[in-house]
């Protein structure tokens, strides 16, 4: 299992399976992430801010993801869309904040 720490209003630690999206794990863990479009990269309601130390552990965002992040409230240079991040063992210990 891959451990992820969620920080913010409903801080918690959770464990996900390889291949699961960060959005699915967050929702299973009770995090306040809507994911309105179901992972179609059309809403940005799955916006998370990745800890600076962890950001480079993620595969780079696609141009489409970066375009959608531009619509997210409170976006930072460490912002990502949780629906586009698939958990892998390399991400064990990832720390993200729900803006």
Strands 2-7 and 94-97: parallel
Taking contact as CB under 6 A, which single stretch among the options 3-11, 41-49, 53-61, 90-98 is the one that binds ligand FES? 41-49
Instruction: Note whether 61 binds ligand FES by CB under 6 A.
Output: no
Instruction: Out of 42, 52, 53, 90, point to the residue binding ligand FES (CB under 6 A).
Output: 42
CB of 90 to ligand FES, least distance (A): 21
Cβ 50 vs Cβ 58: under 8 Å: yes
Question: For residue 20, what are the CA distances in angstroms to 52, 72, 87?
Answer: 22, 23, 6
The piece of 7-15, 37-45, 52-60, 90-98 that touches ligand FES (CB under 6 A) is: 37-45
Q: Is residue 16 a contact residue for ligand FES (CB under 6 A)?
A: no
- 21 forms part of the interface with ligand FES (CB under 6 A): no
- 97's CB contacts (< 8 A; 6+ apart) are 6, 7, 8, 48, 49, 51
């Amino acid at each position: 299992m891959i451990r992820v720490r969620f920080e913010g209003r409903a801080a918690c630690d959770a464990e996900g399976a390889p291949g699961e999206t960060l959005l699915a794990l967050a929702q299973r863990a009770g995090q306040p992430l809507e994911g309105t479009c179901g992972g179609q990269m059309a809403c940005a309601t799955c916006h998370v801010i990745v800890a600076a130390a962890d950001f480079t552990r993620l595969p780079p965002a696609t141009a489409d993801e970066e375009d959608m992040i531009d619509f997210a409230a409170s976006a930072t240079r460490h912002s990502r869309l949780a629906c586009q991040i698939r958990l892998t063992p390399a991400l064990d210990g990832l720390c993200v904040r729900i803006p």
